[in-house]
A and B are shown apart, each in its own frame.
Chain A
């Protein structure tokens, strides 16, 4: 920039605060990254070692002790399918709420959101018993259903705010042009709502991937996701910080890379309706 760029005290303060917050958020991740390449002894050393000779030993051991790929596959299948199932349910719901509003629409939306305010553990026993009786315990299908249910309120909300930004006359014009409901959805709403559908899908993918409560309680060896893999390293025999870190790093790496590339879509989706 050719213009004068001068550092005012206010700007300096803001920059410092921003860096401080960023470091605060990043620190656990950074520490996790470092620990994953340490030996168990280095990992618990006091004072902590910042400079050390990195080792890949932990990753070998994690892979040897438990089948990383199985858990990764479970995570991938459950998060992708629950996202697709969620979109398939949420999109028609959001469509009817956004374009055929009634006096109860607002209440229904608030009620949906209110279910997210309930602690999940409150529903644990009934859902566990239901899963047990329907043979869905420790199955991918069981997790897919639960993930979908827990993400639906957010999906409906996001899609609703996104769809509301689409002028209803455009859909009416399609109807006047002779479009059936499906054609209206497929040829007009889908292309126009692609942005919000994509960001809703991305967010739910991330949420499902990171989901720990339900996967820990409803799955183990067969359908367990990466969250259960990580948890298995904090076992009664003791904490293995280095291995736990290595497992965590392997679990979060795919979603971090994925999130990095899709962050523009994600941010756009989260601010739908808030800014034009």
Chain B
């Protein structure tokens, strides 16, 4: 049996069925990321696991113990909140030792554990300060420290980086990654940012409307998305999905179906130099990001396609171009958006 097992978990808010029967098995030591657009239920699902919301149907077991209706305080889970949720009236050291004090640990052991966690997180100089006197990044580290001193069975992270600025976000992301590597603790991490999901996860759970769309490793989701939603949610800029009739170059597309192309599988050439067989179109926008260039093209047949190339381009808005696609890497979806394998 899996370490953490969800079976048919459901949650209603009034008449609204927010979580629609989730089945999920999480192994010990795994880093699982719940990802999905706003309102998909990813935070609710995390709160159900945390015991902060009541599970209406289904069962939740942790390490062989049924915790479906156990109160949060008895689940042995630690959570890092988006708003940090530090105790403002306590010092950093008191924040980090609160759980251990409640568990009536030996004060000497508590001090050791807090000092060790503070060292890992570079918080040693700040132990006597109150959260008010810390920067956002430091507060976030205290929140993480509060979780790790307890050595809980599972770490829960609820969008922990969304209140940080971009530079700090990247840095903290790397720290969380290293921390997981060093501690090997089972972790569930909620985010709407697919870059965080791709970089941190052992496995990603893509959610939509309270249901799981697909579970898999980051590259599985990238290379073999189960449907058009996952295909377009994972990857940035998102996958081009155009009606099959626009791209006769791609064979075996189901009738009324769609073709999906990652931007890196599309190349654009100026019409004058373009080889035969290119899809004629007009450049709508060029985004030069330095390391890569994104070219947005409207084809004459009415499709919108974005191409990504590692080289710079001489193309400008309004230029006539030919669009070429790597048919071998194309994804095919049927009329309902489900993935269809070629041939």
Residues of A within 8 A of B (CB): 103, 167, 169-170, 172-180, 183, 187-188, 191-192
Interchain CB contact under 8 A, A167 and B73? no
**Whole-angstrom CA separation of A172 from B52 in the bound complex:** 7
**Whole-angstrom CA separation of A59 from B199 in the bound complex:** 82
Which of A176, A179, A188 contacts B50 (CB under 8 A)?
A176
Contacts of B82 in A (CB 8 A): 169
Which of B79, B83, B86, B87 contacts A176 (CB under 8 A)?
B79
A selection of 8 A-B contacts at a CB cut-off of 8 Å is A172-B79, A172-B85, A174-B87, A174-B98, A176-B78, A178-B103, A179-B73, A180-B73
Q: Which residue of B lies closest to A172 (CB)?
A: B52
Contacts of B85 in A (CB 8 A): 167, 169-170, 172-173
**Distance from B18 Cβ to chain A, minimum over Cβ atoms (Å):** 16
**Distance from B219 Cβ to chain A, minimum over Cβ atoms (Å):** 33
Interchain CB contact under 8 A, B102 and A178? yes
Q: How many residues in B have their beta carbons less than 8 Å from beta carbons of A? A: 25
**Distance from B25 Cβ to chain A, minimum over Cβ atoms (Å):** 23
Quick one: which of A172, A179, A180, A188 has the most chain B CB within 10 A?
A172
Quick one: which of A173, A180, A187, A191 has the most chain B CB within 10 A?
A173
**Whole-angstrom CA separation of A180 from B103 in the bound complex:** 11
Residues of B within 8 A of A (CB): 14, 50-52, 71-74, 77-79, 81-83, 85-89, 98-99, 102-103, 146, 150
**Distance from A179 Cβ to chain B, minimum over Cβ atoms (Å):** 6
Given A172-B52, A187-B98, 8 new contacts (CB under 8 A)? A103-B14, A170-B88, A172-B50, A172-B72, A175-B51, A175-B52, A176-B73, A191-B89
User: Contacts A172-B52, A173-B79 hold; do A179 and B87 have CB atoms under 8 A apart?
Assistant: no
Which of B74, B78, B83, B146 contacts A169 (CB under 8 A)?
B83
Interchain CB contact under 8 A, B98 and A167? no
Contacts of A167 in B (CB 8 A): 83, 85
Interchain CB contact under 8 A, B87 and A183? no
**Distance from B242 Cβ to chain A, minimum over Cβ atoms (Å):** 43
Interchain CB contact under 8 A, B88 and A192? yes
Interchain CB contact under 8 A, B87 and A178? no
Contacts of A169 in B (CB 8 A): 81-83, 85
**Whole-angstrom CA separation of A103 from B13 in the bound complex:** 11
User: Contacts A167-B83, A177-B99 hold; do A192 and B72 have CB atoms under 8 A apart?
Assistant: no
**Whole-angstrom CA separation of A175 from B77 in the bound complex:** 10
Interchain CB contact under 8 A, B87 and A173? yes
Q: Which 6 A-B pairs have the closest CB atoms?
A: A169-B85, A177-B99, A173-B85, A175-B72, A191-B89, A178-B73
**Whole-angstrom CA separation of A234 from B215 in the bound complex:** 83
Q: Which residue of A lies closest to B50 (CB)?
A: A176
Contacts of B73 in A (CB 8 A): 175-180
**Whole-angstrom CA separation of A86 from B88 in the bound complex:** 27
Contacts of B14 in A (CB 8 A): 103
**Distance from A193 Cβ to chain B, minimum over Cβ atoms (Å):** 10
**Whole-angstrom CA separation of A45 from B240 in the bound complex:** 97
Q: Which residue of A lies closest to B103 (CB)?
A: A178
**Whole-angstrom CA separation of A75 from B10 in the bound complex:** 56
**Distance from A45 Cβ to chain B, minimum over Cβ atoms (Å):** 59
**Distance from A265 Cβ to chain B, minimum over Cβ atoms (Å):** 17
**Whole-angstrom CA separation of A179 from B85 in the bound complex:** 15
Interchain CB contact under 8 A, A172 and B89? no
Contacts of B78 in A (CB 8 A): 176-177
Contacts of B83 in A (CB 8 A): 167, 169
Contacts of A174 in B (CB 8 A): 87, 98
Quick one: which of A167, A178, A188, A192 has the most chain B CB within 10 A?
A178
Contacts of B102 in A (CB 8 A): 177-179, 183
Contacts of B72 in A (CB 8 A): 172, 175-176
**Distance from B100 Cβ to chain A, minimum over Cβ atoms (Å):** 9
**Whole-angstrom CA separation of A125 from B221 in the bound complex:** 75
**Distance from B70 Cβ to chain A, minimum over Cβ atoms (Å):** 12
Q: Which residue of B lies closest to A192 (CB)?
A: B89
**Distance from B161 Cβ to chain A, minimum over Cβ atoms (Å):** 16
**Distance from A135 Cβ to chain B, minimum over Cβ atoms (Å):** 43
Contacts of A176 in B (CB 8 A): 50, 52, 72-73, 77-79
Contacts of B88 in A (CB 8 A): 170, 192
Interchain CB contact under 8 A, B81 and A177? no
Q: Which residue of B lies closest to A176 (CB)?
A: B79
Interchain CB contact under 8 A, A177 and B98? yes
Q: Which residue of B lies closest to A171 (CB)?
A: B85
User: Contacts A177-B102, A188-B87, A191-B89 hold; do A172 and B71 have CB atoms under 8 A apart?
Assistant: no
**Whole-angstrom CA separation of A178 from B75 in the bound complex:** 8
**Whole-angstrom CA separation of A87 from B14 in the bound complex:** 32
**Distance from A186 Cβ to chain B, minimum over Cβ atoms (Å):** 11
Q: Which residue of A lies closest to B14 (CB)?
A: A103
Contacts of A177 in B (CB 8 A): 73, 78, 98-99, 102, 146, 150
**Whole-angstrom CA separation of A173 from B72 in the bound complex:** 10
Contacts of B74 in A (CB 8 A): 178
Contacts of B150 in A (CB 8 A): 177
**Distance from A98 Cβ to chain B, minimum over Cβ atoms (Å):** 16
Q: Which residue of B lies closest to A170 (CB)?
A: B85
**Distance from A187 Cβ to chain B, minimum over Cβ atoms (Å):** 8
**Whole-angstrom CA separation of A176 from B146 in the bound complex:** 11
**Distance from A128 Cβ to chain B, minimum over Cβ atoms (Å):** 45
**Distance from A101 Cβ to chain B, minimum over Cβ atoms (Å):** 12
**Whole-angstrom CA separation of A172 from B85 in the bound complex:** 8
**Distance from A189 Cβ to chain B, minimum over Cβ atoms (Å):** 11
**Whole-angstrom CA separation of A169 from B82 in the bound complex:** 9
**Whole-angstrom CA separation of A176 from B88 in the bound complex:** 17
